Amino acid sequence: MQPTQRPLLARLARANPTSVFLAALALVLVALFAPGPVGGLLLLALAAGLAYLLATTWPVQAPQTRLLRLVMLTLLVTVALVKLF
């Protein structure tokens, strides 16, 4: 591990992409089917994690990728807020 690398990011880099995708999909489905505020809070927690990853990987992403990720994050936060209120 490089001195500038964070331990959480190093663990995420070693994670199986299929498992991470399935876990995120399960979280989204549970949040969408959970009643009102519970689902909204789960979606906001997922959005916070994605925002952290977006901010961390921002310098190495292409402009098109940045835009797409911002749009997806905005949609997720919008759905979370609608579900929350």
pLDDT tens digit sequence for 25-79: 999 999 999 988 999 999 999 999 999 999 998 999 999 999 999 999 999 999 9
3-state DSSP helix/strand/coil % of the chain, to nearest 5: 85, 0, 15
- Tell me the whole-structure pTM to 2 decimals: 0.81
How far apart CA 80 and CA 83 sit, in angstroms, is: 5
Q: Cβ(47)–Cβ(39) under 8 Å? A: no
Residue with tokens 């994050």: 73
3-class SS of residue 4:
coil
Extents of the domains making up the chain: 7-84
